[in-house]
Amino acid sequence: MSALANLKESKQIRKSLGARASCPQFQDKSGQSPRSNVPQGLNVSNRRWSAREARVEPAGVVTQTPSPEGAEQTHAGKMPALPGKIRIFLMIALLALAVFVFTGCGGDSGSGGGNNNNNNNNNNQQPTPQSYSVSFITNGGSSVMARSVQQGGSISAAPDTTRAGYIFDGWYTDNNTFANRVSFPYTPTGNITLYAKWTAETTWIEIWTPADLNDVRNNLSGEYGLMADISLSSFSNWAPIGTEIAPFTGKINGNGYRITGLRIYDTSATYSGLFGFVRGGEITRLAVENVDITGRDYAGAIAGYMEGGAISDSFSTGRIDSMSSISVAYSGGIVGRANTTITDSYSTATVNSSASSGAYSYSGGIAGRIDGGAISGSYSTGDITSSSPMRDAYSGGIAGYVGENVDITDSYSVGGIVSSARSPYSGGIAGYLGRNSTVTDSYNDGYITSSSNSGGGYSGGIAGDVTGGGRITNSYSTGDITANITGGGIAGRVTGGIISDSYNKGYVTGGARSGGIAGEVSGGGRITNSYSTGNVVSPGNTNGFYSGGIAGYVSDSTITGSYSTGDITATGASSQSGGIAGYVSNSTIRNCAAINRTIRASTSNGTFSARHYVGRIVGYITGAVSISNNFALSTMTATGAAFNTSDTRYHGVTKTDAELRQQSTYSDATSGDGLGGLGWKFGNDDENPWKMPSGGGYPIFYWQ
């Protein structure tokens, strides 16, 4: 889950002899630089003299015009006049030395120059260091000149730029999204453009002390900024800021400072949190740590209820609990219930909601329930629980209940998710995913459990239940799934919803309907371009137990372009198991691959009857079905009943394991039932999502 980023510019300007003499490659065999061998008293200068004072020599080397013959040097330390021949000899020696230094220490690095100096000089010349261009796009700020940096060099400090009415917020390698901030000193590895990020400058009311924070309730529309860490330990029972009648409508920027010691215990409070009720407010960069909150209806670390507005770059830690005996209970790591946008935020808090009076219960790592807006770039790591012995309970790693038209993207959960109720819903991202809502580019790595006291219950790695138009895309789950009725690696139940380009690696146990991707798919639901590698089990002693590598129970729905590899088991008086689906009615299954090793159907004590059905593709078929062009592993074994080998709808077309590890088996165009390949698209984008793993194996997604 939002979840909130320095190398050194060192330009060495080597000036003539001094710089070269300091380099090992410009030293002689004795370990001394050529300059150290210049006779004492010989004046070798690095500065350029005027033409009147010096003869023109190789760049950077000049020699003083000698005094007239016979003239004596009277200045201390200067050598006396020398005979003309000696002076000429020394000048020649000096010229030779200059050539030696400025041509890379004179050719061959060994002893003597020999007659091969030309070749050796060419071979031993140092390559010209590569330079990289660093350009700066200021996005409305004052201009910044591009920098040229030698390979291995760095820019020591962030270049300054200003913009009226804005605060500079750093240089980034990406524009607009500003996800990758550059730290200075910065060493480029190639030509690059950096982009300036700006934050609008505001004149806010400064919060320095707990008393300042408490005073916010006296000006609910103000704009505030934390200027220091705030401890609320002096408040034994914090009164939340804002109510439904007088909500907080202003803005608060935490500036990266922390609020700690927030304690609330009020089982009669409607709204519990740092803020009770927020309407249209903006909360950013707010950290609320070690909260201890017990409320009644709406409880969240930052806000009990938030209507409109936005929360960004914020987080919470601690414990949040809503316990209602008379109404609905909502608990969230950030907000109890919301109709808002939440971005780049996270919670490590444990979250619980319980309703004991026949009301509903909602718990979420970020929000207990969200009915509009969006959640992106966010995550939770705490355990999430909900309970309602007489009604429904919803638990989700990001949100317990997601209403209509809500998008969740780039988010994840790694905590345990549990719901217990008459009808419990548990999901790694959402307990319930409503109409036309989506989960994209998200994942779960925690265990998921739903427990029902009346025979219901849905557990899914991403969502417990997906309804009309709800969609899960480019997402995955690796946690184990348990449900006493319906469990799936991605979704417990899909009713008119869609799962695509997603995978499961967890172990799935559903009491009656279990599937590697979904326990049940009905009402026009679709699963496409997905796979599962986890084992699937439907245990029990009553009638109607269905297990499938992709879906346990399929009615009036479609499964295409998918595969499974886990072992499939259904135990019960009437058990049906299949590599793709256990039970299929009035549905389509096409272009799929069953790569399972074992398919099993039996009673719980291991006995078998005529009511047990196993199939390499499907266990049992009824009604109008279209099942075609599906492949099955040649070495797959059946337990509990024999495979129906005379009907390819059940049995599929046999492929060896070696064939099922070849891309052509999947990518070749289909030319008829069992002829050609499966027609899957391989590439590097959402339109061509599949690829073969570099180490060998079965297909995976391009983004893995």
Which of 38-47, 202-211, 349-358 comes out lowest in average pLDDT?
Answer: 38-47
Instruction: Kindly tell me if the per-residue pLDDT of 96 is higher than 70.
Output: no
Query: Residue 541 has which token pair?
Result: 């002693």
Extended beta strands in 447-535, E state: 448-452, 458-460, 463-467, 471-473, 476-477, 481-483, 486-488, 491-495, 498-500, 503-504, 508-510, 513-515, 518-522, 526-528, 531-532
Q: Distance between CA 479 and CA 489 in Å, rounded?
A: 8
In degrees, rounded to 5, the angle at the alpha carbon of residue 571 between the alpha carbons of residues 566 and 577 is 45
**Mean pLDDT, the chain, integer:** 83
The tokens for 201 are 């400058």
Start-end ranges of CATH 2.60.40.4270 in the chain? 131-200
- pLDDT, tens only, 120-134: 444 455 666 789 999
pLDDT (average), residues 36-55: 32
Q: What is the mean pLDDT of residues 566-588?
A: 91
Percent residues over pLDDT 70 in the chain:
79
Residue 343, token pair as written in the block: 């971005």
488 in helix, strand or coil?
Answer: strand
Q: What is the mean pLDDT of residues 206-214?
A: 97
> If DSSP states are collapsed to H, E and C, what string results for 289-301?
EEEEEEECCEEEC
Q: Half-sphere exposure (CA, 13 Å, Cβ side) for 467?
A: 14
**29 CB-contact burial (10 Å; exposed 0-12 / middle 13-18 / buried 19+):** exposed
Closest CA to 20 of 108, 115, 126: 126
* Mean pLDDT within 34-60: 32
**DSSP letter, residue 60:** T
Task: Look at residue 261 and tell me whether its pLDDT is greater than 90.
Answer: yes
Largest CA distance in the chain: 128
pLDDT at 503: 98
pLDDT at residue 209 greater than cutoff 70: yes
Please give the average per-residue pLDDT across 262-268, as a whole number: 94
Residue 77 has pLDDT above 60, yes or no: no
Q: Provide the sign of the torsion angle of the four alpha carbons 359, 354, 379, 272, taken in this order.
A: positive
Phi, psi of 279 (to 5 degrees): -125, 110
Report the pLDDT value the prediction gives residue 336, as an integer from 0 to 100: 97
Amino acid residing at 674? G
Identify whether the C-beta of residue 314 lies closer than 8 Å to the C-beta of residue 348.
no
Q: What is the pLDDT of residues 511-555, one digit of tens each?
A: 889 999 999 999 999 999 999 999 999 886 555 689 999 999 999
H or E, element range at 95: helix 84-102
Asked if residue 415 has pLDDT above 80, the reply is yes
Residue 220, classed as helix, strand or coil, is coil
Q: Which two tokens stand for residue 83?
A: 């005979």
Q: What is the pLDDT of residues 25-39, one digit of tens each?
A: 333 333 333 333 333
Tell me the three state secondary structure of residue 34.
helix
Number of other CB atoms surrounding residue 31 within 10 Å: 8
Angstrom distance (rounded) from CA 332 to CA 666: 44
Of the candidates 373, 475, 362, 497, which has an alpha carbon nearest to the alpha carbon of residue 429?
A: 475
**pLDDT tens sequence across 341-398:** 999 999 999 999 999 877 899 999 999 999 999 999 999 999 999 999 889 999 999 9
Mean pLDDT in residue range 62-78 = 38
pLDDT score recorded for residue 94: 61
Burial of 543 (0-12, 13-18, 19+ CB in 10 A): exposed
Name the residue with higher pLDDT: 30 or 84: 84
The pLDDT assigned to 276 comes to 97
- Helix, coil or strand: residue 30: coil
- Is the pLDDT assigned to residue 645 strictly greater than 80? no
Residue 484 pLDDT level (bands cut at 50, 70, 90)? confident
What mean pLDDT is predicted for residues 110-115? Answer: 38
Architecture, CATH, for domain 131-200: Sandwich (2.60)
**160 pLDDT higher than 80:** yes
